[in-house]
Structures are given as structure tokens and as C-alpha cells.
Amino acid sequence: MVDLLGQRDELLRVIESAFDARIHVRGNEITVSGEPAVAEQVARLFEELVTLLEQGHQLDRDNLARSIDMMKADQLPTQVLTTEVLRGRKTVRPKTTGQKQYVDAVRDNVVTFAIGPAGTGKSYLAVALAVQALQAKEVNRIILTRPAVEAGEALGFLPGDLREKILPYLRPLYDALHDMLDAEDVSRLTEKGVIEIAPLAYMRGRTLSRAFIVLDEAQNTTPEQMMMFLTRLGEESRMVITGDITQIDLPRSKQSGLLEVRHILADINGIDFHTFSGADVVRHPLVAKIISAYDAYRNPGVVKDSGEDKR
């Protein structure tokens, strides 16, 4: 009951504030009263939370809040939070319904586009799925790539050797890998070429077979770069392309390849476009509020997310 209700009933108060129902706890018995539909929803929530606890999950304010949101949307937390993406140094699971749908889309399609705001787990889950596919011997290698445009400088003019030049651009992908694998494993697999992390320009002219390929920050690709990347796909490979169309760093005179590709490939079997919303943000709770505030400021009176370029 302490795990379910929290220290000093902290989690119980979260549930009470989320529903118009009265919750009474006596010993190991919980009684819910109120409007029948609401009372039933709260009762089902407690059943779901008990199941999660029995399966070894821990409850805190964040995952409880997500579970409440799922129940209000007629979704079952146990179907989302028990999905396992990767087991190992760290167990990775989706935390929202949108993330669960994304994981399913990647597993069911050859090419998956993930579009949405910062903090929704687009890149992190893609890397986890890549590591899982490698461990399951579904692929022979992982290729992680990004367009290097953020600094507005050509790589050749930056100090250091090639690795030192590209590291700042690819740091988020390295961080995700080190979160899931031991540092020694990352170094060994990188040296053997099993894991490759390189700028997008280094993909030109290659055929990528039996590989799990992740293109991150795809909103910063040009249409020509996007087509070049997609046509690298080889036999028994899988691609995940992630991006946030509200954070395009290209010059205004250039169209984003991520914006264009949705109109070109939307109806092709084996290709899926998954869109995240602010509800899928799993960083600090303030991140979702920051994103919503910026959307409201940039688009007064417009409901998010139209899917168009918001620059």
C-alpha cells in the first residue's frame, strides 16, 4: 500500500486531485465513490497500478501522472509501460502511448519517420531499438548520423581531427549509446565498425545493408540530402528518421527535406510517419509547458499541431 499510495499518501493525493471522486483507504481496502463512470475509471486505475507494482515497476509522480492521462484517454498503462524495448545495462520502455505507438511503428515498418517536439524520446528510443536489433542479430551494424549544420561552419574549418570535429554534432547519440551499453562495449564496437557514428555527408555513395540506420535532426536536411539518405537503404536494413520541424536551422532560403518528404512518401507501404505531441514529453514536466507556451506565442488562436513549418 505504501508503494501504491506513496509516502504519507503523496500519490493518493495526486489521484484525488485528478478525478472528481472520493477515495477512502482502510487497511488494505480502497473504496471509490462518486459518479459511476468516474468511480469505475478510478477503480480501473488502481487495478492497473497494482499490476504494474506486481510486475516490478516503481510508481512516482511522473509515471503516475502519465498513467492518469492514459486512463482518461481510455488507454491501459499496463499495455504501454510494460513494453520492453531494450534489456541490459539499462531497461528501456516507452513512457507514453505515443512512444508505444512509435516503437510498434519502427518494428512494423522498414522506414519510420518520427516528428515531434524536444523531449519526446524520438532519438533515444531509436538508438535503443537499434541496440536491441543488433543484440538480437537482426542486423550486423548500427549507423547513426546527423546533418552537421547547427554551428553554421564547415567541418574543415573546425579545429581538431575528424572525430573531434564531428563530436559536438553527434554528442546526443553518443550519450544515448553510453546510457545503454558499457563504455568498453561502445569503444570496441566502434573500433570494429559495428557501430558507426558519422555526419550525413559521409553517407553519399554507400549502400547500407543489414544495418539499423538512424538519421537524427532530420529537419536540418535539404530535400537533396533527404533523398540521398533514403536511397542508401540496402537489403535487410531498417531506417528511423527523427526531427522537430519547429527547430529548423537551415537558411530561410532552403526548404527542409523533412517537411517535403511527408508529401512525397506518405502513401508508400513500409514507410510510416509518426507524430509526437506535447503529451509525449518525458523530460522535466516544465519542458512540455515551455513547448506549449512557445506554440501559443507563435501561433495565437491556432491549435497545435498543424504539421506545417512554424518558423
The CATH number covering residue 101 comes to 3.40.50.300
Decide if 306 is inside a domain: no
User: What strand order describes the sheet that includes 211-215?
Assistant: 195-199, 141-146, 211-215, 238-243, 111-115, 271-275
Instruction: Please indicate, yes or no, whether residues 123 and 269 belong to a single structural domain of this protein.
Output: yes
User: Given this model, what pLDDT does residue 250 score?
Assistant: 87
pLDDT at 47 exceeding the cut of 60: yes
List the domain range (segments joined by +) for residue 293: 97-298
User: Given this model, what pLDDT does residue 17 score?
Assistant: 92
Confidence of residue 151 (pLDDT cuts 50, 70, 90): very low
Spatial contact of 141 and 194, defined as CB atoms under 8 Å apart:
yes
For the entire predicted model, the pTM comes to: 0.81
Dihedral angle, C-alpha 224, 227, 229, 232, nearest 10 °: -130
Instruction: Please indicate, yes or no, whether residues 50 and 111 belong to a single structural domain of this protein.
Output: no
The CATH number covering residue 12 comes to 3.30.1370
What are the φ and ψ backbone dihedral angles of 145, each rounded to 5 degrees? -145, 155
pLDDT at 162 exceeding the cut of 70: no
User: Given this model, what pLDDT does residue 280 score?
Assistant: 86
pLDDT digits (tens, 9 = 90+) for 183-204: 999 999 999 999 998 888 889 9
Spatial contact of 304 and 277, defined as CB atoms under 8 Å apart:
yes
Instruction: Please indicate, yes or no, whether residues 153 and 14 belong to a single structural domain of this protein.
Output: no
